[in-house]
Structure 1
């Protein structure tokens, strides 16, 4: 999902505003210094916001809970679509469309303007900024909904549940922190509430796909026939990543297989064009043989080291007998120190599911337990990367 960056002329104008505010702060009289400082802070924040990658910012913004709640209310009111095309929508129009009280609209949009998702004009009326435009896509709104209702409540329970478990890391026996908070595993909950499962799958589609690994270049190196298994996308949801690779490489030969649980496939009428579905549980032996690439995207960060070792135990025996096969793990690779706010947020978000984000040292330790090492780390525009594994 491509991001729409702030145009360079707008950034240049924001730089000019920062310079003006800095000059105003320098020249401010003693009694006006606090006003000039606030103005400089505001202009500096606007400049920083303009340099963000819009789609990536959706993740940390969810944890500004007031902003996430406001995003959800605008979704419930079906107002996002009214901002298509870059036009302005007035408070009066929104009240007429939604029948909501005007004061509710005013307060919700005050929060969203402060978060730099909207710009306010006299009237008042509002239009989207580059950071607000991702929410025009329903998958980003689904991601906000899934995190807000299914994950954040378990994070809010962390102080209580960690104390109850004497601050011990979750294990297979103790269950996940989601279960600690709600009495049921998240994956069990999603299986028994298919409407929430649909929201989760849509939300996962909101992440920028497949730019860490150069699929077109690497697949072109393979001498593939139509019947060859090019890629097995393990626990690949409803096939949106494989569909994207197919569309970007329409002449690519070989079979693209997406594996997941039956409940994941049951909610879609058919797989994407030139993509196959195969029912599979990642904790059982891998049934797809002789594939050139086995691909796990956003899977290992869902699980503890022990569970990850069990998952790897299903694929490593095949790698030992299939020298042509590659194993690719697409996930975050944290720095060994000084993680960014977004990286730290992504890590703590995995806590309710019993998973974690890992730094390069932790990845090496995890893979070594299964007789694997890191051949190369391919890095993309997201905080995540693609780890190409090799047998030790």
Structure 2
């Protein structure tokens, strides 16, 4: 039970948090480009200060798990798609249930949960209208994010405490015998699970690309002209920018638009099944992007390339396997010319962003891997006889760009 001293302390915290909200709101109105993110953070601090510890506890153990489940069911019920139909006119429970033949009572229970998350607007009892977030979730690539994150992760997360307890709370570091395999009763890496489940595989690639369009591109952080275009050898392998583990090629496609003056080769290296998916999608049809089946745990076939790019690759693997990937690249590099470009999270040592911390536990459950701090990146890179030439960031919670060289 709260004491008078607790109440006084909470009032002081609320006053302090409120002043931060007001200050950041004023900065936003004045045109400060960084003020919006600061305002979000200070608003969260205000909620935390205003809540009692029990309210905070119940929010985390009641609200958050049920919200994720409600969203996943809403996608299957086509609630968001139906809500935006007919120019987003208000819909009753019965109208939302019609496309799938679902029980209107079930739809009511799910829709009102979505409304509590502001995914829908509740205009009257049992009547809902679309808002801007509904419009977003009605698009397949954003609904795919819900499908992927639920279908791929919820089982491992649910089993993670038991897995860790059974393994005497040791840090997971085996990508083929870890929490994911324990939970899904699956042999092999999580990527093999993805390719064996086409719906989740497609959801993953669609969602990841859509999400990245809302975050700074690596070409916005990194001095591409100075570090890649200038001094580029335009013949053969030396001209190549290689995207290792680049999915179905979205990053290279974006690169051609962002840096059209780069006239070297662009090569997508992926596992055969992913290359097959990229080919089916028409990637490489114009011959600008070359598709090459390749396993980055084997020797790199393209020697002396300008850059070996990896986006969200090394965070999929524990240090031991990252060293094997990096060693294969190092053996192919031309010292003083070739670069390794790593687009991944760089965690702050203290007060890291919630996006980075959430993703760290996500990677533990899915791949027995991790996100890394700047110190951990230096330790990993230098253990391979390589050197970090620079780390570039833009915005809190986004991926950074790490330039690695071989001297």
> Does TM, normalized by the shorter one, top 0.5?
yes
What's 1:100 paired with? 102
What's 1:157 paired with? 159
- Of 127, 131, 137, which aligns to 1:128? 131
More relative contact order in 1 or in 2 (CA 8 Å, sep 6+)?
A: 1
Aligned pair 1:304/2:305, yes or no? no
Contact 1:224 1:253 in 2 (8 A): no
What does the per-residue CA deviation read over 1:90-114, in whole Å, with 9 as the maximum and x for residues that have no partner?
1253233333222222222222222
Shift of residue 310, structure 1, vs aligned partner:
1.0
SS in 1 for 2:401: strand
Change (3 A) 1:117 1:292: same
Shift of residue 71, structure 1, vs aligned partner:
2.3
- Of 191, 202, 205, which aligns to 1:201? 205
Q: Structure 1 stretches of 5 or more lacking a match? A: 1-14, 20-43, 49-59
Kindly report the root-mean-square deviation, in angstroms, between the aligned alpha carbons of the 2 structures.
Answer: 3.0
Change (3 A) 1:138 1:217: farther
Instruction: Give the Cα–Cα distance (whole angstroms) in 2 for the partners of residues 386 and 85 of structure 1.
Output: 43
Instruction: Give the Cα–Cα distance (whole angstroms) in 2 for the partners of residues 264 and 300 of structure 1.
Output: 18
Change (3 A) 1:315 1:166: same
Change (3 A) 1:314 1:86: farther
Shift of residue 144, structure 1, vs aligned partner:
1.8
What's 2:26 paired with? none
Aligned pair 1:349/2:362, yes or no? yes
Instruction: Give the Cα–Cα distance (whole angstroms) in 1 for the partners of residues 394 and 135 of structure 2.
Output: 22
Shift of residue 335, structure 1, vs aligned partner:
0.5
Please state which structure has a larger fraction of its residues in helix.
2
Aligned pair 1:87/2:88, yes or no? yes
Change (3 A) 1:173 1:90: closer
What's 2:219 paired with? 213
What's 1:176 paired with? 178
Change (3 A) 1:256 1:141: same
Instruction: Give the Cα–Cα distance (whole angstroms) in 1 for the partners of residues 104 and 183 of structure 2.
Output: 37
Contact 1:213 1:379 in 2 (8 A): no
Instruction: Give the Cα–Cα distance (whole angstroms) in 2 for the partners of residues 338 and 96 of structure 1.
Output: 47
SS in 1 for 2:370: coil
TM-score by length of 2: 0.74
- Count of aligned pairs between the two proteins: 336
- Of 319, 336, 342, which aligns to 2:349? 336
Contact 1:367 1:373 in 2 (8 A): yes
What's 2:394 paired with? 380
Q: Structure 2 stretches of 5 or more lacking a match? A: 1-17, 23-42, 48-59
